[in-house]
C-alpha cells in the first residue's frame, strides 16, 4: 500500500503528539474533530500508544457547577505531580457549529500550566452530551502522555449516557434544590454513576439531597460492577474547593478496583460497541451513496408516498435488494 502525502502528514503529526508537542496535540485534535483527510492515519498511529491514562467523566444537569468542579479537580490532581487533559464539551454555536468556549473561561487558572491541556469541543449533532469525535480526542490526550483525562459533558439533562462508553470512572454531579433526585432516576444516571457529588453543598437542602440519593441507591445498581464497588455520595463546594480532594480520592479508589477487576469487563464491551457503531456508520454511508448514485431507492420511496408500503418495510426491502445485488456480483 502506497502511503499518500495526507497519510504521511497524519503519521508525522501523531509522532509529534506522542513526543509531547502541545501544539501538535492541538492540531491533531482539530484534525480528529473535523474528520479531515489525515484523521485515519493519525488515529491509527496514536492508538497503540493509548490505554494508559485514567479517564474520568463528569456529567450532570445544567447549572450543577460541573466546569467549576472540574477546574478544582484538575488543581488537586496537579498537586500530586500528574498531568491532566480536559475535554470540555460545550453547546454548539447555532451559527458556526463551533464550541461556545464557556468552560475555558472558567478554567483560566490553568492557562500558564503546561501540565494541564484544556480543549473545548462543540457537541454538534452528537447525542448523549458528547461530540462524535470525543473518544478519539481522549485517545490523543492519552497518547500524548496525560496521566488523567477528564471529560465534561454538555449539560443536557436526561440523555448524557454516552459518557459511560468513554470514561472509566463516571462522576455524576447534582445540586440541592433543583429536583435533581427525580432527574437522576429519569436520566438513568443512577445506573452509570461510580461517584455521586452533591455540589454547592453549602446551600440549604444539601443533606436532604444526599439522603435522597442514598435511598435511590437501594432501588437499583444490582449489575455485576456494583458487587465490588458501591458509589460514594460526596458533598462539595466547587467555588471554594471544599470536598474536592475527597472526590479525587474516590476516583483513585475506583480506579484501583477497576484495575483489580480488569475494568470489570467494561473496556472490552466499550471497544466492541465502538467497532459495531463504526461498522454501522460506514455501512450506512456506503449504502446511502450507492442508492443515491443508481436511483434504486426512488421506486420504493414512491410506494411509501402512495401508502402502499410502510417505511420500515421499505427499509427492509432496500437492504434486501442491495445485499442480494452485492452477493450476486461476488
Three-state DSSP state, 156: coil
At residue 264, the pLDDT reads: 53
Q: 240-288, pLDDT tens digit by residue?
A: 999 999 999 999 999 998 887 665 556 677 778 778 877 877 777 777 7
Percent of the chain predicted with pLDDT > 90:
41
- Could you read off the pLDDT of 26-53 as tens digits, one per residue? 999 999 998 899 999 999 999 999 989 9
Instruction: Check whether 232 has a pLDDT greater than 50.
Output: yes
Residues with Cβ within 8 Å of residue 151, at least 6 apart in sequence: 55, 56, 57, 58, 86, 87, 89, 130, 134, 138, 163, 166, 167
pLDDT of residue 2: 46
C-alpha cell at 255: 480506579
Please report the pLDDT score of residue 112 as a whole number: 79
Q: Above 50 in pLDDT, residue 93? A: no
Per-residue pLDDT reduced to its tens digit, 113-136: 899 999 988 765 544 446 668 999
Residue with more model confidence, 175 or 329: 175
Percent of the chain with pLDDT over 70: 77
Helix (H), strand (E) at residue 12: helix 5-18
Instruction: Record the cell numbers describing residue 131, joined without a space.
Output: 461530540
Q: Which of 142-146, 199-203, 278-282 has the lowest mean pLDDT?
A: 278-282
Better-predicted residue by pLDDT, 216 or 219 = 216
Q: What is the mean pLDDT of the chain?
A: 81
Place of cell 452530551: 129
Tell me the β-bridge partners of 220: none
Q: Which of 163-172, 174-183, 267-276, 285-294 has the highest mean pLDDT?
A: 163-172
Q: What is the pLDDT of residues 290-314, one digit of tens each?
A: 777 777 778 888 888 888 888 888 8
Query: Using 50, 70 and 90 to split pLDDT, how confident is the model at 57?
Result: very high
220 pLDDT exceeds 70? no
Mean pLDDT over 167-195 rounds to: 75
Q: In what order do the strands lie in the sheet with 195-198?
A: 116-122, 84-90, 148-152, 54-59, 169-174, 195-198, 233-235
Hey, what's the cell of 127?
447525542
Sign of CA dihedral 165, 54, 248, 83: negative
Which among 73-87, 100-114, 128-142 has the top mean pLDDT? Answer: 73-87
For the chain, residues classed under CATH 3.40.50.300 are 52-260
What is the reported pLDDT for 247? 98
Helix and strand tally (H, E) in the chain?
13, 7
Class of domain 52-260: alpha beta
Tell me if residue 148 falls in helix, strand or coil: strand
Amino acid at each position: 500500500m502506497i502511503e499518500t502525502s495526507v497519510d504521511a502528514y497524519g503519521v508525522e503529526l501523531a509522532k509529534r503528539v506522542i513526543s509531547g508537542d502541545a501544539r501538535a496535540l492541538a492540531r491533531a485534535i482539530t484534525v480528529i474533530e473535523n474528520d479531515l483527510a489525515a484523521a485515519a492515519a493519525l488515529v491509527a498511529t496514536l492508538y497503540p500508544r493509548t490505554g494508559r491514562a485514567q479517564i474520568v467523566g463528569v456529567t450532570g444537569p445544567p447549572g450543577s457547577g460541573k466546569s467549576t468542579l472540574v477546574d478544582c479537580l484538575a488543581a488537586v490532581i496537579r498537586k500530586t505531580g500528574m498531568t491532566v487533559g480536559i475535554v470540555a464539551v460545550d453547546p454548539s454555536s447555532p451559527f458556526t457549529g463551533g464550541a461556545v468556549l464557556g468552560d475555558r473561561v472558567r478554567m483560566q487558572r490553568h492557562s500558564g500550566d503546561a501540565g494541564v491541556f484544556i480543549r473545548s469541543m462543540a457537541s454538534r449533532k452528537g447525542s448523549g452530551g458528547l461530540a462524535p469525535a470525543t473518544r478519539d480526542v481522549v485517545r490523543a490526550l492519552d497518547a500524548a502522555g496525560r496521566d488523567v483525562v477528564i471529560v465534561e459533558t454538555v449539560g443536557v439533562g436526561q440523555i448524557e449516557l454516552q459518557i459511560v462508553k468513554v470514561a472509566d470512572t463516571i462522576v455524576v454531579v447534582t445540586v440541592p434544590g433543583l429536583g435533581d433526585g427525580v432527574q437522576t432516576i429519569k436520566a438513568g444516571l443512577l445506573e452509570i454513576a461510580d461517584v455521586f457529588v452533591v455540589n454547592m453543598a453549602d446551600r440549604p437542602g444539601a443533606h436532604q439531597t444526599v439522603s435522597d440519593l442514598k435511598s435511590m441507591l437501594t432501588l437499583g445498581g444490582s449489575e455485576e460492577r456494583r458487587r465490588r464497588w458501591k458509589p460514594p455520595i460526596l458533598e462539595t463546594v466547587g467555588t471554594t474547593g471544599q470536598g474536592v480532594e475527597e472526590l479525587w480520592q474516590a476516583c483513585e479508589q475506583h480506579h484501583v478496583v477497576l484495575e483489580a477487576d480488569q475494568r470489570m469487563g467494561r473496556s472490552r464491551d466499550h471497544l466492541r460497541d465502538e467497532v459495531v457503531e463504526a461498522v454501522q456508520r460506514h455501512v450506512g454511508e456506503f449504502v446511502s451513496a450507492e442508492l443515491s448514485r443508481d436511483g434504486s431507492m426512488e421506486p420504493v420511496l414512491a410506494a411509501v408516498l402512495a401508502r402502499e408500503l410502510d417505511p420500515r418495510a421499505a427499509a427492509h426491502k432496500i437492504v434486501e435488494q442491495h445485499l442480494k445485488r452485492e452477493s450476486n456480483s461476488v
